[in-house]
Structure 1
Amino acid sequence: MFDSLSERLNSVFKKLKGHGRLDEQNIQAGMREVRLALLEADVNYKVVKDFTQRVKERALGQEVLKSLTPGQQVVKIVKEELEELLGGEQQGLDLKAKPPVVIMMVGLQGSGKTTSAGKLALHLKGLKYSPYLVPADVYRPAAIDQLHKLAGDLNMPAYPSTSSDNPVDICMRALEEARQKAYTAVIFDTAGRLHIDETLMQELVSIKEKCSPHEILFVADAMTGQDAVTVAQRFNDLLDITGVVLTKMEGDARGGAALSIKSITNKPIKFVGTGEKLTDLEVFHPDRVASRILGMGDVLTLIEKAQEDMDQDEARAMQEKFQKSKFDLDDFRKQMGRLKKMGSIEGLLKMIPGMGKMRDKLKNVQMPEKEMGKMDAMINSMTRQERSNPKIFNASRKQRVARGSGTTVQDVNQLLTNFDQMQKMMKKMVGKDGQPQLDMNSQGMPVPGRTKTKRKKVKRRKKKK
């Protein structure tokens, strides 16, 4: 989402770092470009004005002007202010209340409330809660059926609403049933409209008064930019929302809603939807998002994603293969399967500090759903020797694999190219002597820190002293 903004900001910082000393003139010029970058990202004008003013005041302070690395100090200030703009500390759901915890989903039609209700139910199930889904949208055709379908997919109970019921009555009866059956979390999927109207808002106010929800989450489509912020403010004025869920964060929106909504409503973003699958819901971490925007990576999220799908022993075995350069086509197939679950290769590389250039090289590596089947068929048609040493492939071997897998020689060439690019990435991360070029954690993932080359330079300087 923030690709365009990241490029603009990094361009500004590169210029600032080029100055040996910073003064008011070049800081002013830098802030002018930051302001333009944020406005182009559809960030609210008042938010942009306040943000750049705070950064400018801090950047002109003694901590920067007397620093040996003033450019880096400005980047540090921008990162801290971005974190504050995005909400400061991460704020999750308030789950301290006596069960059942009642959560009310509100927002306009088409924002993704129903799907987000299902995603949130799965999230709560992972926290050992027993969710009860309540379809309270009696106006949109098939809204009730959609939530029941999601409940079935998740193997969770849902209240048997009908389109002839009153939404307020539905929520009251469902809450009473949840107490009787000892469900520990209740999620109301309320009705939306194409635009705000008094009937909708009064209905939501009545549900709030009768059911006293612990959380009122406003669901907004991040692709709508400033419109989402305006609507959020209106909902907040009437309902006093407790947080925001931003959907479609995986799209190509400019990020204005995410960067504006906290400042305008004074309510935190609690979750973001990152895809269409029910597992594609992430807790919102302002510090991690700020790091991504500034191209610093987001290793913690990457590690969490890896931990969900890989146990410790498997992680160690894969790390040893990386270090010994024994990464073969069988390993490639396994990793592509995991990457498909975790997201795109390009998206994952954004989370690794210092991998920006490699990300550009891998822009053409495509691994969509239909290609996974082809890849499996091609690798299954190879001999064990070919899988472990793809360098032996010649024209006749490629033709044999293509015939055996029902693909073309071009498909085989593309697979080998993708594998070769993945190997190059691994070699970037692992030195010729088999030692990690980046510090690695227990999951076999790179973490921020000195590269091996930098560590050597530091040792040389110490010896000279």
Structure 2
Amino acid sequence: MFDALSEKLQQTLSDVRGRGTLTEDDVNKAMREIRLALLEADVNFKVVKGFTSTVKERCLGSDVLGQLNPGQQVVKIVDEELTALMGGASAGLTFSPRPPTVVLMAGLQGSGKTTATAKLARHLREQHGSSVAVAACDVYRPAAVDQLVKVGAQAGAEVYEQGTDKDPVDIARWALDKAKMDGKDVLIVDTSGRLHVDERLMQELKDIRAAVKPTAILLVVDAMTGQDAVNVAEQFAEAVAFDGVVMSKLDGDARGGAALSVKAVTGKPILFASTGEKLDQFERFHPDRMAQRILGMGDVLSLIEKAEQQFDEDQAKDLERKLRRDEFTLEDFLNQLKQIRRMGPLTSILGMIPGFAGQQMKGLKVDERELDRIQAIILSMTPEERRRPEIIKGSRRLRIARGSGTNVQQVNQLIKQFAQMRKVMKQLGKGKMPDMAALMRQAR
């Protein structure tokens, strides 16, 4: 996400960071480059003007030019102002003291609202332990109710629906009564996509709001539509006061205009971001972490949170015991690989690691298909072969290659690399530093 903007900002700040001293002309040049990068990213013009003006004022007014490391100070200022631009401190969803908490979802048709509804339901169930129901009030789009029934079930939420023949306001009112009777913690109301200029549908949204009295109204906007998304948010804010934004399709947004503009234009924070097609690729939006990602500083906190969600503490202790006893097998390796892949695309994971993030990632290609081949090879082995890869000889390797759709050379390479990895782990388990140079020579 934000690839184009991130690359240009990092290049500009890299030039500034590398200077031992800075002049006012250096700052002006950097601000011109930052302004151009933000405009090309489809950030609102007024937002760009205000942002660069504030950054420049801070750079020239806080003795940055006279400091020993002025470039580092400029980077720090840009980081802080990017964070402030996207909302400062991360905002969360407000819960009602008397359940159910009612969340009303609104947005344009095609913004990803129904999918975002299911993702939010899953997030609240997984992260907060909430009992969640969703109300199917999109009665105009073909198959919208069927879609919500499907993805709602996948999210572990109960779907309240009455088909497409009833009035959406009546469905919402009925769903709220049912959620109270069922003891649900949260009711998410999925409404039809609508244009702000459609008076009839906007009035319907207001009527639904009056019927269910939502704790929060969330506007779903498509990040890939850039400045148009911000315009929609601004116009919705005038018609129906919403509380926060769900940014959908953020993973496909190479520019970043919507995410960087919406808070400044509407005054409403981004609460959640959809970062992929799968239901679990949905997370709280943290302005400070996003600013660090854009500037190539990594995002260690998000990486830790993702790891904690996937790795079981007992499994981790069992793995540590196996490493110390040199009992780590291909079965264990396969399990670890699956857990890592559940955290998201490897490119995204590496982008959260300082040292891999930013310019260091440029040109780095992570072939996810290679991981598919590794999994296929291991899955084509017998349980005994996974525990004792040393028994895998000629005929076994041929059988494994055929079963996995690979060749014997690829099977040989995996077994060899796994053997080298076990040597490293064994030495680390004994508190020794492995001879990496020797291992590299053996692995060739």
Instruction: State the TM-score, normalizing by the size of structure 2.
Output: 0.86
Structure 2, gaps ≥5 residues long: 435-444
Q: In structure 1, what is the Cα distance between the partners aligned to 2:209 and 2:103? A: 10
- How far the C-alpha of 1:148 sits from its partner, in A, is 1.7
Q: In structure 2, what is the Cα distance between the partners aligned to 1:352 and 1:72? A: 19
Q: In structure 2, what is the Cα distance between the partners aligned to 1:251 and 1:387? A: 41
Structure 1's 385 and 421: CA in aligned 2 closer, same or farther, altered over 3 A? closer
Q: Residue 225 of structure 1 corresponds to which residue in structure 2?
A: 226
Q: In structure 1, what is the Cα distance between the partners aligned to 2:261 and 2:421? A: 37
For the residue of structure 2 that corresponds to 1:60, the secondary structure is helix
Listed one character per residue, the Cα deviations across residues 53-73 of structure 1 (whole Å, up to 9, x for unaligned) are 110000112341232110000
Q: Residue 138 of structure 1 corresponds to which residue in structure 2?
A: 139
Q: Residue 354 of structure 1 corresponds to which residue in structure 2?
A: 355
Q: Residue 200 of structure 1 corresponds to which residue in structure 2?
A: 201
Q: In structure 2, what is the Cα distance between the partners aligned to 1:95 and 1:172? A: 19
Structure 1 position 68 matched with structure 2 position 72? no
Structure 1's 291 and 161: CA in aligned 2 closer, same or farther, altered over 3 A? same
CA contact (8 A) 1:105 1:187 kept: yes
For the residue of structure 2 that corresponds to 1:129, the secondary structure is coil
Listed one character per residue, the Cα deviations across residues 139-178 of structure 1 (whole Å, up to 9, x for unaligned) are 0011111112223334432223221111111111221222
Q: In structure 1, what is the Cα distance between the partners aligned to 2:15 and 2:109? A: 44
Q: Residue 153 of structure 1 corresponds to which residue in structure 2?
A: 154
CA contact (8 A) 2:5 2:254 kept: no
1:157-236 correspondence to structure 2 within 5 Å: 157-193=158-194, 196-236=197-237
Q: Which moved further from structure 2: 119-128 or 161-170?
A: 119-128
Structure 1 position 103 matched with structure 2 position 103? yes
- How far the C-alpha of 1:313 sits from its partner, in A, is 4.4
Listed one character per residue, the Cα deviations across residues 114-154 of structure 1 (whole Å, up to 9, x for unaligned) are 11111111222231322221000110011111112223334
Q: Residue 86 of structure 1 corresponds to which residue in structure 2?
A: 86
Structure 1's 128 and 50: CA in aligned 2 closer, same or farther, altered over 3 A? same
CA contact (8 A) 2:246 2:272 kept: yes
Structure 1 position 43 matched with structure 2 position 23? no
Instruction: State the TM-score, normalizing by the size of structure 1.
Output: 0.82
Listed one character per residue, the Cα deviations across residues 191-220 of structure 1 (whole Å, up to 9, x for unaligned) are 014775222211111212232211100001
Q: In structure 1, what is the Cα distance between the partners aligned to 2:255 and 2:147? A: 30
Q: In structure 1, what is the Cα distance between the partners aligned to 2:53 and 2:416? A: 48
User: Quick one: which amino acid aligns to residue 59 of structure 1?
Assistant: C
Structure 1's 158 and 347: CA in aligned 2 closer, same or farther, altered over 3 A? same
Q: Which moved further from structure 2: 370-379 or 314-323?
A: 314-323
Q: Residue 300 of structure 1 corresponds to which residue in structure 2?
A: 301
Q: Residue 403 of structure 1 corresponds to which residue in structure 2?
A: 402
Structure 1's 215 and 66: CA in aligned 2 closer, same or farther, altered over 3 A? same
For the residue of structure 2 that corresponds to 1:133, the secondary structure is strand
User: Quick one: which amino acid aligns to residue 285 of structure 1?
Assistant: H
CA contact (8 A) 1:381 1:404 kept: no
User: Quick one: which amino acid aligns to residue 230 of structure 1?
Assistant: N
User: Quick one: which amino acid aligns to residue 5 of structure 1?
Assistant: L
User: Quick one: which amino acid aligns to residue 366 of structure 1?
Assistant: E
CA contact (8 A) 1:100 1:186 kept: yes
Report 1 or 2 for greater relative contact order, CA contacts < 8 Å, sequence distance ≥ 6. 2
Q: Percent identity?
A: 49
Q: In structure 1, what is the Cα distance between the partners aligned to 2:26 and 2:55? A: 13
CA contact (8 A) 2:223 2:253 kept: no
Q: Which moved further from structure 2: 271-280 or 260-269?
A: 271-280
CA contact (8 A) 1:225 1:253 kept: no
Measured on the aligned residues, the alpha-carbon RMSD in Å equals 3.5
1:270-285 correspondence to structure 2 within 5 Å: 270-285=271-286
Structure 1 position 434 matched with structure 2 position 425? no
CA contact (8 A) 1:330 1:387 kept: no
Structure 1's 255 and 354: CA in aligned 2 closer, same or farther, altered over 3 A? same
Structure 1, gaps ≥5 residues long: 436-465
Listed one character per residue, the Cα deviations across residues 295-340 of structure 1 (whole Å, up to 9, x for unaligned) are 1111111111111121234435657888999977545423321122
